[in-house]
Structure 1
Amino acid sequence: MNICVIDVGTSSIRSAVTDGHRVICFRQRRTPPRMPEPGLVEFDASDMAEVVLQTATEVIDEVGGVDAVAVTNQRGSAVVWDRRTGEPLEPAIGWQDLRTVGDCLAWQDRGLRLVPNESATKLAYLLDLHDPDRTRDLCFGTVDTWTVWCLSQGAAHVIDPSNAAMSGMLTADGRGWSEAVIDLLAIPPTCLPEIVDSTGVVGNATALPGAPPIAGIIGDQQSSLIGQRCVLKGLAKLTFGTGAFLDVCTGAERPAFENRSPRGTFPIVAWQEGGDLVWGVEAMMIAAGSNMSWLIDDVGLLTDAAQSMELAGSVADTGGVVYVPALFGLGTPHWDFGARGAILGITGGTTAAHLVRAVLEGVAHRAADLMEAAEADSDCRLERLRMDGGMSQNPVFIQILADALGRPVELCPVPEGTALGAAVLAGRALGQWSSWQEVADSWSPRAVIEPAGTLDRDRWHEAVNRAARWHPDLSAISF
């Protein structure tokens, strides 16, 4: 069964045809967001729709037709458009945008916990900007909602729970929109999309060749979780992109904590089928692959990411250098927005190779931090972790990661598991998979990397303490 998966990312849009095991054909277009001022992240929703239709049409034409379409996407962004004309209102606001930080802090003082990377306060901002009297007939959506609206030419205004949960407006049990939150933010219920299953036909992609059914909708990290067959309780994956996310499937029972836990993880809706929710726990690293970009673009120490393998692999260790990858603060378990990157232990004998290896070790240490927090909050020992993302192409880093985790690392059959997960959901809707056990049993990693050593976690924790609270005013902010 061939599925066209449309993956709407933060800086690019990818369309692929996949059977859920391998990618048959692929198109990618860069669509970097606009950053008009520090802290502001915007994008053109019309341009996004154009690229979605262009890339999806190209891959469908190449294979001569598909059985279904699925959508996976960046989470927490906000798009508002006119219901009658379908024209989006400017700007669409990206998940990284921080313009509503003050609003979030003000609501927190009133007992409503919202965070700026959720879409709730972004929606309120856009409504205040374009419809202060709340009299217009507008539609709101996260990126999945907008994509499905465009694919169906306005016939479907929907969202799945994995994305709805990242809005800050879902009820705690994940069953519907919170009347309390939308009333406080003055959000008209009519502008909100219908919450539908992650796997199931919601309409037809009439804007694409053959008008295939739209049969899967899922947030990107949940899609990677499913793509790497972590669909049973206790299975977990690590995705390394600009940041990094560790997600654990915890099953039908919602995690005990409502928002962020004391260990810095979050409950997530993994997916919904037949009205039944599957839950998970997510831990987040703010800076992962962005450390490679820093070495390439800002420091000029590397010409490309591939060179890091050669340099880091040329030395047996870091020569005592420890790097804390807190370029934009620290996520799980610390959530210290005032922490900053640190390089400790430099001597006269430190070389570029030692520094590059220290950067890779720092990212691996942070992954171990995520694992420890996720294990505690999921009440699951993670016997092994599955891995995808750009850094899964670096064998030196993968070995360092296995050593830091002290667990085997299993590599996804393709670099990005997101396409596979959305395809599984669509295939499940059309009867391709008889059970989730069958999905789990179909896991076949391209390689398994066993730990071959250990990293000094005590020295790592000492280094993190030195990097913490570098900007106390920012460290005091907590969501």
Structure 2
Amino acid sequence: MQFVSVDVGTQSVRAALVTEKGRFLKTASRPLETWNPQPEFYQQSSDQIWKACCEAVKEVCRDAKDVRGIGFDATCSLVLLDDAGRPLTVSLKGEPEQNVVLWMDHRAVSQAEAISATGHSVLRFVGGTMSPEMQPPKLLWLKQNLPSTWERLGLALDLPDFLTWRATGCASRSLCSAVCKWTYQAGSAPGSDMEPGWQESFWIRIGLEDLTKDNYPIIGQEFWPPGAPCGRGLSMEAGLQLGLKKGTPVATSIIDAHAGGLGLLGCEAEGEFCKSFSRRLAIIAGTSTCHMLANENCIFTPGVWGPYFSAMVPGMWLSEAGQSAAGALVDHVVSTHPAYPLIQAKTKPGRRPEDTLNAMLLTMCEQRGLDSPSQLVADLHVWPDFHGNRSPVADPNLRGMISGLTLSAGEEDLAKLYLATLQALAYGTRHIMDSLADTGHSVSSLLMCGGMAKNPLYVELHADATGMPVLLPSETESVLLGGAILAASASGRYKSVTEAMLRMGGSGKVLAPRASERRFHDAKYAAFRALLDCQLRLREIMSPNGRPSSSCS
């Protein structure tokens, strides 16, 4: 028995053929184009995305004989269609094929700030502050800036929901997307006076009352948990396009990071590694980083999205934190450095510049007689929010900082800056964990997947900086595994998503933190937090009512 998983990431579509035990038989990928017409604007094409999905699925299913279901995950990007299902432009220049506002698009910062200023009770479920990466501010921006698109709007879908709509013709929505990115309420939280469903007063207060007419046909009227069967399975048209049988069960979709959470949480390890879902922090580390924590209890944490009921693990409340730029930040820091061409020249075919830098750092450490590479950058500090802070400060206007630069710009300087950047990302995770702990969460282990998790130095620094053991699954493609878990659940092979997680999650290896590194990272984490204080003080000084000061404290 086999299942197909489709993962639509930022830069590519990937498909996999997976067995009922979670073993990967075949994978394929296709690149995606992203338009960046001006700073903070990122646009894609849903037609191109669907075409890439079809090509990748056909490739992995070429010799498949027993496909029992298909599951989709995707970035939480916004797709616009007219009443006939045709693309509606999100481009200021009117390019018709560009109808997707990518998840990382920050055009709607002012709209997000205006929504946050309303103080509506629904904001409690997004950490108290609306992010420009969520859909309400993007929709408000579209209404204010592209009236011709707004007037013709027939469907506004999260990208995961667009994929199941194309596959089945059914416009039902996933509770994952609706709850996490659209403010839909799936359950009643203790102390909340809100009923489950859309909150009409919220949409009216932010100026999007148009969406409430006739029971919200544009943004969704029917909702299902991830893994529930969607519609009547694959339509005839979609089956032909994908190379699968009509009626093949299609799972209600999920956001890509949440798919990674499903794939990670069911993973087992030898020894005393904690097995409780509520104490395992899943870190999906790619272009950005998502930190996912499920709990039986409804726990609110300022600056952290959620808690969201049944948005990832059925019956559990999800707290979702993250970093808006992780892999993207490392790529930026490395590729824009003057010494980057020298590192490229030293990098062997099939390897990444990071591999060369990791080896260089070990050599530098040995030459200087240091106990670990981290000590190379005791005086070089990075604040990593080059694309704003998602958690726990929840401020998209924060920016990156570097302290400790010199006039030197050679290969070793690049290696040090790269290392300090990786440290900063690890300290960002620790900052998130501190905020979670302050409100009652108890994390005892980290689980990692994604492109960044394939960098051993990144993983090692997370273990050492947080003092937590890190579990790395043997099957490294946890996001694709999450889609297969949904497909297996929708097909009826397993009774629930939770059962599928445990049966398909596989095993992994554990990297323990080094006690010898603790004192260094405690000190440097304090310096990391001081950078934030300094930036906020500088902002205060430069504001219209700011007062000059000689101190950042």
TM-score when scaled to structure 1? 0.86
Q: Give the Cα–Cα distance (whole angstroms) in 2 for the partners of residues 45 and 437 of structure 1.
A: 33
Q: What corresponds to 1:70 in structure 2?
A: 71
| 2:10 corresponds to | 10
Alpha-carbon RMSD: 3.0
Match of 1:288 in 2: 326
Distance 2:176 2:475 in 1: 23
| Equivalent residue number for residue 234 of structure 1 | 279
Equivalent runs, 1:56-455 vs 2, <5 Å = 56-64=57-65, 66-75=67-76, 77-83=77-83, 85-91=84-90, 92=99, 93-112=101-120, 113=123, 114-126=130-142, 129=146, 138-152=154-168, 155-171=169-185, 173=187, 175-183=196-204, 184-185=207-208, 186-187=210-211, 188=213, 189-193=216-220, 194-202=222-230, 203-206=232-235, 207=238, 208=242, 209-211=244-246, 212-229=248-265, 232-251=277-296, 253-255=297-299, 257=300, 261-262=301-302, 264-271=304-311, 277-299=315-337, 300-301=339-340, 302-303=343-344, 304-314=353-363, 315=365, 316=372, 317-320=375-378, 321-345=380-404, 351-377=413-439, 379-434=440-495, 436=498, 439-440=501-502, 443-452=505-514, 453-454=517-518, 455=520
Could you tell me which residue of structure 1 aligns to residue 126 of structure 2? none
Q: Which moved more, 1:440-449 or 1:200-209?
A: 440-449
CA distance in 2, matches of 1:192, 1:148: 15
Partner in structure 2 of residue 21 of structure 1? 22
* CA displacement, residues 53-87 of structure 1 (integer Å, 9 cap, x when unaligned): 22222222242451101011111x2222133x321
Letter in 2 for 1:200: A
Displacement of 1:102 after TM fit? 2.4
Shift of 1:434: 4.6
One-letter amino acid of the structure 1 residue matched with residue 178 of structure 2: A
Preserved contact between residue 65 and residue 210 of structure 1 (Cα < 8 Å): no
Assess if the C-alpha contact under 8 Å between 1:325 and 1:363 holds in 2: yes
Q: Which amino acid aligns with 1:312?
A: L
Amino acid at match of 2:355: A
**Match in the other structure for 1:465:** 530
Report the secondary structure of 2:464's partner residue: helix
Helix, strand or coil for the counterpart of 1:165?
Answer: helix
SS at match of 1:123: helix
Identical-residue share of aligned pairs (%): 21
- Following the alignment from structure 1 to structure 2, what is the Cα–Cα distance between the partners of residues 330 and 271? 23
Task: Tell whether the 8 Å contact from 1:80 to 1:89 is kept in structure 2 after alignment.
Answer: yes
Q: Residues of 2 paired with 1:407 and 1:279: CA distance?
A: 23
Q: What SS is found at the alignment partner of 2:444?
A: coil
Q: In the superposition, relative to structure 1, how do residues 474 and 139 fare at CA in structure 2: closer, same or farther (>3 Å)? A: farther
CA contact (8 A) 1:16 1:59 kept: yes
> In the aligned structure 1, how far is the partner of 2:112 from the partner of 2:298?
25
Structure 1 distance, partners of 2:406, 2:85, is 61
Cα 1:37/1:237, change in 2 over 3 Å: same
Q: Deviations over 1:437-478 (max 9, x none)?
A: 6734764443211112324223332244235238728999xx
Contact kept, 8 Å, 2:6 with 2:16, in 1: the verdict is yes
Task: Give per-residue Cα distances to partners, 1:174-227, cap 9 Å, x unaligned.
Answer: 742222234441214122232112122113223132132102411112111111
Letter in 2 for 1:461: A
**Contact (CA 8 Å) 2:292, 2:318: kept in 1 or not?**
yes
Specify the code of the residue in structure 2 equivalent to 1:3.
F
2:28 & 2:538 partners in 1: Cα distance?
42
Give yes or no for contact 2:334–2:418 (8 Å, CA) kept in 1.
no
**Using the alignment, how far apart are the partners of 2:154 and 2:415 within structure 1?**
55
The residue type equivalent to 1:98 in the other structure is H
User: What is the rounded CA distance, in whole Å, between the counterparts of 1:331 and 1:102 in structure 2?
Assistant: 16
Structure having the higher strand fraction is 1
State the Cα deviation string for residues 401-454 of structure 1 (Å, max 9, x = none): 211111110002233311111211221233333563673476444321111232
d(CA) in 2 for partners of 1:246, 1:60? 32
- How far apart are residue 306 of structure 1 and its match? 2.2
Q: Which amino acid aligns with 1:223?
A: A
**Which AA in structure 2 matches 1:205?**
L
Kept in 2, the 8 Å contact 1:14–1:27? The answer is yes
Residue in 2 that maps onto 1:32:
33
Secondary structure of 2:103's aligned partner: coil
- Alignment partner, residue 192 of structure 2: none
Distance 1:337 1:475 in 2: 18
| Greater C-alpha radius of gyration | 2
8 Å contact kept, 1:410–1:446: yes
Q: Structure 1's 133 and 5: CA in aligned 2 closer, same or farther, altered over 3 A?
A: closer
Q: Which amino acid aligns with 2:245?
A: G
Q: Tell me the amino acid that sits aligned with residue 328 of structure 2.
A: S
Letter in 2 for 1:158: S
Per-residue CA deviations over 1:241-295 (Å, capped at 9, x if unaligned) read 12211111113x433x3xxx3354542345378xx64321122122321232023
The DSSP-based 3-state class of the residue aligned with 1:28 is strand
Q: Distance in 2 between matches of 1:269 and 1:474?
A: 41
SS in 2 for 1:448: strand
CA distance, structure 2, for counterparts of residue 32 and residue 169 of structure 1: 29
**Structure 1: how far apart are the matches of 2:68 and 2:541?**
49
Rounded Cα–Cα distance in structure 2 between residues aligned with 1:169 and 1:364 = 29
Q: CA deviation at 1:3?
A: 1.4
Structure 1 residues 263 and 438: CA distance shift in structure 2, 3 A: same
The offset of 1:125, in angstroms, is 4.4
Runs of 5+ in structure 2 lacking a partner? 91-98, 124-129, 189-195, 267-275, 345-352, 366-371, 544-553
